[in-house]
Amino acid sequence: MLIALAAAALAMPAQAQSPADDAAAMHAKVDGLIARMTLEEKIGQLEVLGDDYGKLDDLARAGKLSATNGVLNDRDVAKYTRHLQDMAMQSRLKIPLLFEGDVAHGYYTIMPVPLAMAATWDTALTTQVHRQAALEATASGVSWTFSPMLDIARDPRWGRIVEGAGEDPYLGAAMAIAQMKGFQGDDLSRPDTMMATAKHFAGYGAAQAGRDYNSADIPPRQFRDIYLPPFKAVADAGIGAVMAAFTAIDGVPATASRKLLTGTLRDDWHWPGLLVSDYDAIPELVTHGVAATPADAAAMALHAGIEMDLHSGIYLEQLPALVRSGAVPMAEIDAAVRHVLEAKWKLGLFADPYRYGDEAKEHDPALRAQSRAVARRAATESMVLLRNQGVLPLRKAGRIAVIGPMATATRDLEGQMPAAGDPARVVTMLAGVREAVAGKAQVSYAKGVDVTGDDVSGIADAVSAAKASDVAILVLGESVGMIGEGNSRAAIDLPGQQLALAKAVVATGTPVVAVIVSGRPLALPWLADHAQGLVYAWLGGDEAGHALGDLLFGDADFSGHLPVTMARALGQVPLSYDHLPTGRPGDQHSIYTSRYVDLPNTPLYPFGYGLSYTSFRYGEPRLDSATLGPGGTLHVTTRVTNTGTRAGAAVVQLYVHDEVASVSPPVRQLKGFERIALQPGESRDVGFTLTPADLAFTRRDMSWGTEPGRYTLYVGGDSTATRSAAFTLSPARR
């Protein structure tokens, strides 16, 4: 009877007519397959093996491979993925393969890095950016991306800060959902959507000393209030996969934490998706010192909840003997296989194993042009104007010197893991400036110094170029080898002799606009005091140069706002706007207070900060009630006016402070934002809605919920906003 039911399930139509029917069909299909699979075939479904593992064709034909690389820049990806799917279709059960990869900020067309996208505070644009990435990647056969990265990062030394949305859980959750929507759309079974992965669950961004792969020491309350909320948000929103972190938290590596992976993710959040390890993280449990042997590591990770091993092959090599010996229950294998097969069903792969991959679409010039247009807009919105002493926008006339090692950078502007990007397609900062003023101004170039190293022999040429010009655009920053995974820095200032170059150019007396190309918030106190203009350009992707040209010469307006706090010096780190108060608040002139003797406590630039070519006035917040009751809503409205002479976009931000709580509350927390475009003189009411759930936190007894009392809210253009109003949260009904 069981075999007959299994055969009937395998013959069922791939798609059903309603969600309920589709779920029933999925479960029948998966049940039927699991009933027919051998142990080795089941374990094969738990492996994501790279092309360096060897004999992938043989493994695919034997039904012992579940997924492999889909992002490879050394081959024709569409042909490669189709070939391996052909091999899988020769297997006994014809279970299709997943093709994965890091499609983090574009695929063929490289968009601004995620930290730069967070600086747009534009969730709709962020969705569009990742929609374009999905269109391009799926045309090459890629069905699964290891993105978005949701790690809250408050230490700029950590190289992977570039992959996330910065320091704030509210902004991080909003950007993560926007990315997920871009990848997954409304229907994962469509051939132009792909499964997204929330990584790294959880706390990886708190690596001690900002050193990648290091352990993390996060107090349990902070872990729940700061590091988990973005993951909870995308779990609720329906993300398809989650990747566990490398990190050990309180001595337990996430890869081995059943409390975190099964307890929180499965039992508490009821999340039904696919859980994958990070790259080689399972065998690294031995190095962590919590597993004695690879076999122990495999059993420990599977029991914790890791359903797919990424890259190492440890499940394929260790689990068969563990199951046969009784050390690993078959029920754990079956539960893991079920989630893998369900993910493949949801992607529509059982309906059509070849649905991902369209060589004609892969090279469609219309798609490429559309992606370039989105990339240019994204780069334009991401750049942040930090200082303008009347020098910007620049005139398209006279003589302009472009100086600095990052002015001609190409690969560096692509950022970390640029998928199928090509540095030859990157518009450099120098090219963008030249194109913006073509036929109207003379542009000279001098490198001055390298990004790193001590050679200063080129500074003389840079000084001569600046002296001979009406303005100098100084393009400085970090090379790609200094940011991203494995590239932590012990310092957060400009590397090499770039500051010496800046000082020499500024000393000429020629007005200077400094443009910083970087994947982390650097400490730039000297430039903040001496450059007439200071622009944070991040790593803007293929269209970074065009975006910079548009902005510097006023063809577009700056509208980016910082998603991170910028420190004055490394000694202030970690530094975030939502810090806790202290019994002795800092006073630079009082010794027994929380202060530095050699530096103000305040950041160089606060979270949420960004200038424009126009100006905005924020009205006092108006509340529809002085009380927020249980199950109720509080509507907050503020009038925003463009008080300048040109159109611009404001990022209106709402912050809340709990005046008295059972645990010391943050000085303020972001609870809403909206990006609006206004014409000169135009005013608009911007509204926010608060509910009691928005005010929940981990209370003194470690329960999650709210506490009645008085709250103050603030509205404005950054985290130092002063326009305020007060309300009271009523006690919950008993």
Rounded Cα gap, residues 656 and 30, in angstroms = 47
Please give the full DSSP string across 630-654, using - where no structure is assigned.
TT--EEEEEEEEE-SSS-EEEEEEE
How does strand 309-310 pair with strand 98-101?
A: unpaired
Identify the bridge partners of residue 616 per DSSP, sorted by sequence position: 642
Could you give the CA distance from residue 332 to residue 377 in angstroms, rounded to a whole number? 47
User: Would you state the structure tokens that stand for residue 471, as one six-digit string?
Assistant: 């303005």
Contacts of 158 (CB under 8 A, 6+ apart): 205, 207, 210, 211, 212, 488, 520
| Per-residue pLDDT tens digits for 677-732 | 999 999 999 999 999 999 999 999 999 999 999 999 999 999 999 999 999 999 97
Is the distance from CB of 414 to CB of 540 less than 8 angstroms? Answer: no
φ and ψ at residue 47, rounded to 5 degrees: -115, 135
Q: What is the pLDDT of residue 734?
A: 62
In 62-97, where does DSSP find H-type helix? 77-88
Cα 274–280–285 angle (5° rounding)? 95
Q: What topology does CATH give the domain 382-572?
A: Rossmann fold (3.40.50)
Structure tokens at 75: 């081959």
Note whether 512 and 400 are within 8 A (CB): no
Distance of CA 154 to the CA centre of its chain: 14
Strand, helix or coil for residue 678: strand
What DSSP character marks residue 565? Answer: P
> Residue 363's closest CA among 109, 542, 82?
109
CA dihedral for 702, 706, 712, 713, sign (positive or negative): positive
Pairing assessment for the beta strands 471-477 and 512-517 based on DSSP bridges: parallel
Of the options 3.50.50.60, 2.40.50.140, 2.60.120.620, 2.60.40.10, the CATH number for the domain spanning 616-729: 2.60.40.10
- Residue 146 burial (CB count, 10 A): 25
List the structure tokens of 375: 């990339």
* HSE toward the beta carbon, residue 694, CA cutoff 13 A: 24
Tokens for 678, please give them: 């206004």
User: What are the distances in angstroms from CA 117 to CA 172, 180, 558?
Assistant: 11, 14, 14
- Nearest-angstrom CA–CA distance, 459 and 450: 10
Pairing of strands 274-276, 241-244: parallel
Burial class (CB in 10 A: 0-12, 13-18, 19+), 449: buried
Cis ω for the linkage preceding 521 (within 30 of 0)? no
- Beta carbons of 310 and 279 less than 8 angstroms apart: yes
The C-alpha angle 197, 341, 360, rounded to 5 degrees, equals: 65
Tokens coding 365:
């010039």
Tell me how far CA of residue 119 lies from CA of 87, 112, 318, in angstroms. Answer: 44, 10, 45
Torsion (CA) 619, 622, 626, 629 in degrees, nearest 10: -120
Cβ pair 417, 543 in contact under 8 A? no
Residue 401's DSSP bridge partners are 444, 472
What token pair was written down for 359? 């060589």
Q: Residue 400: enclosing H or E segment and its boundaries?
A: strand 399-403
Q: What share of the chain is helix, strand, coil (3-state, %, to 5)?
A: 35, 20, 45
Local structure of residue 259 (DSSP, 8 states): I
Residues noted as catalytic: 278
Parts of the chain belonging to CATH 3.40.50.1700: 382-572
How far apart are alpha carbons 690 and 687 in whole angstroms? 10
C-alpha distances (whole Å) from 321 to each of 39, 255, 295, 330, 338 are: 10, 21, 9, 12, 21
Rounded to whole angstroms, the Cα distance separating 653 from 11 reads 55
Task: Yes or no: say if 204 and 151 are a contact pair by the CB < 8 Å rule.
Answer: yes
pLDDT at 315: 98
Please report, for residues 290, 310, 400, 514, the alpha-carbon distance to residue 530 in angstroms, rounded to integers and kept in the order given: 52, 49, 19, 10
Classify burial at 364, counting beta carbons within 10 Å of its beta carbon; exposed 0-12, middle 13-18, buried 19 or more: middle
Mention every residue, 6+ apart, whose C-beta is less than 8 A from residue 667.
577, 578, 579, 580, 581, 657
Residues of the chain with CATH 2.60.40.10: 616-729
CA-CA-CA-CA dihedral for 373, 375, 381, 382, to nearest 10: -170
What span, in angstroms and rounded, lies between the C-alpha atoms of 373 and 38? 50
Rounded Cα distance between 207 and 145, Å, is 24
* Residues of the chain with confidence (pLDDT) below 50: 1-16
> What is the bridge-based pairing of β-strands 252-253 and 274-276?
unpaired
Q: Helix, strand, or coil here: 224?
A: helix
- H/E segment holding residue 309: strand 309-310
CB 372 within 8 A of CB 542: yes
Expressed in angstroms, the distance from the first to the final Cα of the chain is 53
Which two tokens mark 506?
């500024």
> What was the pLDDT predicted at 19?
65
